[in-house]
């Protein structure tokens, strides 16, 4: 909000920001599709600097896959090479601080709190701390056990990731003055209409970023997403690119559920066609057909699509999502949701229904649509509802 106020009151600043966004976009295009993911870049630099023992086995596999692309990027980007140097320096600083802390702790002199008062800058604190370390070269602490060292190195990875994020944020993240970001609270459900007519049912603790203007060009039909949502993307000649922290989905016109989390991105396709790949690496992309699911694996590639019971897998959306679902399966779902008995003629039980119904809608409205789709009538009785064939 502060940035928006500045841009509104200072036209020159708005022009500079737009120019910077243009320059950044040009640089990213020059770097190619394998543009840098900050966390992966930190892991790559640590691996190349002899810190492979700081990585988990899955991280090492990922780094080995992306290493050739990163080496090429570094060769063509002096600025990013300087960031790599900063990462190495920060890692050394971290290990030096840890050595000093371990030394003090080992002789019963626990270090003071690392909190810094507002009158003292972080930089001056780091300098003073570094002077203390260098002033006592003769005192050495016993080396930590291997398990402790591994925890230390992995903590160092977190420090390095936090450090490099600040350096890369404007260069790499798709933020511009022409985007809209929608965030939902923990228990909130919100429907977002995109400029091209697509809609997104955004569930709690989710974030969606998309262009604020018309989505007419190929590079503008793009959105970034984290959390849980159900997407209805309108058909168009141009692709729609949906990007998550570890994956991307390329669609034309389709409906699907997507959720991201600590274990990666998961997509369940209801209608249309969708291509899923890693965010930075195109190798290993998969094509989903309706009724199939894929998720990102620990190796950093999407799993092979498998057929699933869509209505069960997408229950978290707050929708009844039917994809060629039999009436035999639909009736127990509706009955359980609304607490009312529902039955149907035997000849209707194997009829198939495709559609979506919000769970907060009335049972009568949902039953009327289902009955219309299968050629039936809805009868209300003392024991509940019954679907009767009209054929």
From the candidate CATH numbers 3.10.300.10, 2.60.40.1180, 3.40.1310.30, 2.60.120.1440, the one assigned to the domain spanning 179-312: 2.60.120.1440
For residue 154, give both structure tokens: 């992995």
**Model pLDDT, residue 28:** 60
CA dist 371 and 351 (Å) reads 10
**Model pLDDT, residue 237:** 66
Q: Give me the CATH code for the 318-389 domain, please.
A: 3.55.50.30
The boundaries of every CATH 2.60.120.1440 domain in the chain are: 179-312
The yes-or-no verdict on residue 76 having pLDDT over 60 is yes
pLDDT band for 100, please (50, 70, 90 cuts): confident
CA dist 5 and 293 (Å) reads 44
Residues 6+ apart with CB under 8 A from 179: 209, 210, 211, 212
Percentage of residues of the chain with pLDDT beyond 90? 26
**Higher pLDDT pick, 1 / 186:** 186
Least reliable range by pLDDT among 19-33, 51-65, 200-214: 19-33
**Model pLDDT, residue 130:** 47
CA nearest to 309, candidates 356, 348, 268? 268
Residues 6+ apart with CB under 8 A from 221: 196, 215, 236, 238, 239, 240, 241
CA dist 42 and 61 (Å) reads 14
**Model pLDDT, residue 107:** 60
CA dist 177 and 4 (Å) reads 8
Segment 268-285 shows an average pLDDT of: 85
Phi, psi angles (nearest 5°) of residue 230:
-115, 125
CA distances from 375 to 49, 142, 324, 353 (A): 68, 80, 15, 11
**Model pLDDT, residue 225:** 94
**Model pLDDT, residue 109:** 52
Compute how many other C-beta atoms are within 10 angstroms of the C-beta atom of residue 248.
21
pLDDT tens for 345-356 read 999 999 998 888
pLDDT tens for 177-220 read 578 899 999 889 999 999 888 999 999 999 999 987 666 555 55
**Higher pLDDT pick, 140 / 54:** 54
**Higher pLDDT pick, 136 / 382:** 382
Q: Are strands 222-226 and 240-243 parallel, antiparallel or unpaired?
A: parallel
CA dist 270 and 323 (Å) reads 6
CA dist 124 and 350 (Å) reads 74
pLDDT band for 106, please (50, 70, 90 cuts): low
Q: Where are the alpha helices (DSSP H) in the chain?
A: 2-9, 11-31, 38-48, 57-76, 78-106, 122-134, 146-172, 310-313, 327-338, 363-374
pLDDT band for 173, please (50, 70, 90 cuts): very low
pLDDT tens for 120-158 read 343 444 454 445 444 444 444 444 444 555 555 555 555
Least reliable range by pLDDT among 98-107, 206-215, 295-304, 305-314: 98-107
Segment 234-252 shows an average pLDDT of: 85
CA dist 269 and 251 (Å) reads 11
The boundaries of every CATH 3.55.50.30 domain in the chain are: 318-389
Segment 321-331 shows an average pLDDT of: 89
Compute how many other C-beta atoms are within 10 angstroms of the C-beta atom of residue 83.
20
Starting from the edge strand earliest in sequence, which strands make up the sheet with 207-211, in order? 179-183, 207-211, 222-226, 240-243, 247-251, 274-278, 286-288
**Higher pLDDT pick, 343 / 111:** 343
Helix (H) or strand (E) segment spanning residue 231:
strand 228-233
Phi, psi angles (nearest 5°) of residue 149:
-65, -40
With beta carbons less than 8 A apart as the criterion, state whether 164 and 42 touch. yes
């Amino acid at each position: 909000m502060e940035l928006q106020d500045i841009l509104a009151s200072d036209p020159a600043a708005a022009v500079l920001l737009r120019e910077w966004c243009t320059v950044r976009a040009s640089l990213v295009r020059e770097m190619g599709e394998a543009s840098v993911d900050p966390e992966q870049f930190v892991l790559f630099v640590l691996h190349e600097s002899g810190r492979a023992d700081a990585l988990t086995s899955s991280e090492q596999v990922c780094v080995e896959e992306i290493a050739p692309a990163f080496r090429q990027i570094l060769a063509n980007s002096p600025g990013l090479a300087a960031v790599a140097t900063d990462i190495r320096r920060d890692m050394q600083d971290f290990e030096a601080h840890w050595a000093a802390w371990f030394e003090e702790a080992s002789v019963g002199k626990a270090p003071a709190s690392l909190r810094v008062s507002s009158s003292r800058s972080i930089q001056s604190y780091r300098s003073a701390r570094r002077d203390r370390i260098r002033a006592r070269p003769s005192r050495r602490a016993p080396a930590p056990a291997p398990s402790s060292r591994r925890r230390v190195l992995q903590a160092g990875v977190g420090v390095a990731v936090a450090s490099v994020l600040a350096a890369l944020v404007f260069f790499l993240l798709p933020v511009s003055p022409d985007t809209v970001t929608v965030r939902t609270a923990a228990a909130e459900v919100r429907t977002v209409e995109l400029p091209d007519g697509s809609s997104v049912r955004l569930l709690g603790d989710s974030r969606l970023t998309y262009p604020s203007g018309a989505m007419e060009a190929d590079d503008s039909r793009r959105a970034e997403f984290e959390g849980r949502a159900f997407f209805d993307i309108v058909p168009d000649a141009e692709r729609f690119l949906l990007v998550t922290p570890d994956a991307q989905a390329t669609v034309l016109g389709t409906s699907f559920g997507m959720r991201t989390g600590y274990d990666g991105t998961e997509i369940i396709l209801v209608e249309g066609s969708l291509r899923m790949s890693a965010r930075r690496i195109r190798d290993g992309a998969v094509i989903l057909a309706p009724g199939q699911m894929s998720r990102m694996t620990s190796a950093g590639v999407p799993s092979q699509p498998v057929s699933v019971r869509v209505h069960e897998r997408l229950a978290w959306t707050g929708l009844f999502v039917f994809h060629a679902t039999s009436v035999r399966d639909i009736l127990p779902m509706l009955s359980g949701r609304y607490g009312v008995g529902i039955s149907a003629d035997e000849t209707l039980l194997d009829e198939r229904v495709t559609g979506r119904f919000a769970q907060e809608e009335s049972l009568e409205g949902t039953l009327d649509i289902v009955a219309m789709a299968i050629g039936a009538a809805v009868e209300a009785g003392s024991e509940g509802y019954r679907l009767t064939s009209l054929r």
